[in-house]
């Protein structure tokens, strides 16, 4: 928050009108200006401030986009690249020169240049870039995962193709779904793109893969089911997800991941109903699945259950997880006695240390 000083106090007390301060309007800083400031900065603190401002500043012309590209290519530091891409996502400019620029970047040999171009072209829907992006997306994956690649250049090429598929999922969904299913056989992580951008269409595929005996299919299911799907899509498939959660014969992985998503998208009234269903479960597995939904909801209704887990669950990680959930739900005054209890009574040293540390940082 910017606190403005109180000016002209002496003149007001003397009964004289306050003088009007005449200043020229301050022009908003441009992306190109921030580029130059970052290049010229020596102090890390100054560089960090410039990056923070850059991440919130939209590029206004092709010169700004070129400045972003220069930073992206010149510095491999993820803080710089994240700030550049955040700025690029604010791009709201339609220009023939810009279209030519993104096509030019797409034709560069460096993978980083093509990643930048894909993200920019998607933002402005550069029609000239679309055939080049689609061509990249249709290539065969050399590795199942970027982590399997030995050379950095190979890892980056893997990510270029991932970005191309993600672009199509946002831009041309009518051709993306079939391609994503095919490419996820080659690289299971591609199913994550399906989960993020095509959740409603992809959910039946994820359930089928989760029940498959193939490890590749199970990997695809995990990638898709754990992807952060839009809340609106989750709401529209909530009944379908509930049916799977309630089915004891459904694949365990699917039940667990969908339980989390059900909790995330449920209203307070729906959490009340889930709590009743949890209480009526006859077997431990069913209780565990419904508990996952309740915990994911971060609804205050779940506080007693989290507190019980915090104090009584035999699993050290479950108790620590309950504490983390409670930190997101409770006010500091409500959380303090629980932290004090854990710091003194939890049988696990790491959990006690975690609670002690949180107590020191807890606002009073």
Q: What is the pLDDT of residue 147?
A: 94
Q: What is the pLDDT of residue 363?
A: 84
Q: What is the pLDDT of residue 28?
A: 66
Q: What is the pLDDT of residue 12?
A: 33
- Number of Cβ within 10 Å of residue 3's Cβ equals 4
DSSP labels, 259-301: HHHHHHH--HHHHHHHHHHHHH--SHHHHHHHHHHHHHHT-GG
- Number of Cβ within 10 Å of residue 333's Cβ equals 10
Structure tokens at 12: 């007001």
Distance CA(115)–CA(47), nearest Å, equals 24
List, for residues 144-160, the tens digit of each pLDDT value: 999 999 999 899 999 99
φ, ψ at 229 (rounded to 5°) = -75, 150
Q: What is the pLDDT of residue 95?
A: 78
Q: What is the pLDDT of residue 93?
A: 79
Contact of 287 with 279, CB cutoff 8 Å: no
What is the enclosing helix (H) or strand (E) of 324?
A: helix 316-329
Closest CA to 307 of 296, 297, 318: 318
Q: What is the pLDDT of residue 364?
A: 75
Indicate the length of the chain as a whole number. 364
As to burial, measured by CB atoms within 10 angstroms (0-12 exposed, 13-18 middle, 19+ buried), residue 204 is exposed
Q: What is the pLDDT of residue 8?
A: 31
| C-alpha distances in Å from residue 307, one per residue of 278, 298, 351 | 16, 13, 14
Distance CA(298)–CA(260), nearest Å, equals 11
Q: What is the pLDDT of residue 6?
A: 31
For 90, the 3-state DSSP assignment is coil
Buried b (16+ CB within 10 A) or exposed e, 90-100: ebebeeeebbe
* CA max distance for the chain: 87
φ, ψ at 81 (rounded to 5°) = -65, -35
What is the enclosing helix (H) or strand (E) of 326?
A: helix 316-329
Q: What is the pTM of this model?
A: 0.84
Buried b (16+ CB within 10 A) or exposed e, 13-32: eeeeeeeeeeeeeeeeebbb
Contact of 90 with 58, CB cutoff 8 Å: yes
Q: Please name the residue that has the structure tokens 């689609």.
A: 134
Distance CA(83)–CA(162), nearest Å, equals 20
Residues of the chain below pLDDT 50: 1-26
Those residues whose C-beta lies under 8 Å from the C-beta of residue 302, and which sit 6 or more positions away, are: 271, 275, 294, 295, 325, 329
């Amino acid at each position: 928050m910017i606190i403005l000083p109180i000016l002209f106090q002496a003149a007001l007390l003397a009964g004289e009108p306050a003088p009007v301060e005449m200043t020229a309007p301050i022009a908003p800083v441009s992306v190109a200006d921030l580029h130059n400031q970052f290049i010229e900065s020596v102090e890390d603190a100054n560089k960090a401030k410039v990056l923070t401002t850059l991440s919130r500043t939209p590029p206004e012309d092709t010169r700004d986009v070129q400045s972003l590209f220069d930073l992206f290519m010149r510095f491999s530091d993820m803080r710089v690249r994240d700030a550049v891409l955040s700025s690029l996502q604010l791009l709201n400019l339609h220009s023939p020169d810009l279209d030519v620029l993104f096509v030019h970047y797409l034709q560069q040999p460096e993978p980083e240049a093509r990643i930048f171009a894909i993200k920019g072209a998607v933002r402005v829907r550069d029609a000239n870039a679309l055939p080049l992006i689609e061509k990249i997306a249709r290539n065969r994956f050399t590795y199942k995962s970027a982590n399997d690649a030995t050379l950095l250049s190979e890892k980056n090429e893997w990510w270029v193709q991932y970005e191309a598929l993600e672009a199509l999922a946002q831009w041309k969904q009518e051709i993306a779904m079939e391609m994503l299913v095919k490419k996820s056989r080659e690289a299971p992580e591609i199913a994550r793109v399906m989960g993020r951008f095509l959740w409603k269409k992809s959910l039946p595929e994820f359930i089928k893969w989760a029940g498959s005996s193939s490890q590749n299919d199970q990997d695809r299911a995990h990638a898709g089911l754990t992807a952060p799907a839009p809340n609106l899509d989750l709401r529209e498939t909530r009944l379908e997800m509930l049916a799977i959660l309630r089915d004891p014969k459904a694949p365990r992985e699917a039940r667990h991941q969908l339980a989390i998503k059900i909790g995330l998208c449920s209203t307070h009234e729906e959490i009340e109903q889930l709590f009743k269903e949890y209480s009526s479960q006859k077997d431990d597995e069913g209780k565990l699945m419904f508990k996952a939904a309740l915990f994911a909801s971060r609804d205050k209704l779940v506080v007693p259950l989290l507190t019980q887990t915090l104090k009584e669950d035999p699993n050290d990680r479950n108790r620590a997880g309950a504490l983390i959930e409670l930190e997101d739900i409770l006010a500091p005054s409500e959380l303090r006695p629980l932290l004090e209890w854990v710091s003194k009574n939890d049988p696990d040293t790491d959990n006690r240390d975690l609670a002690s540390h949180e107590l020191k940082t807890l606002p009073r």
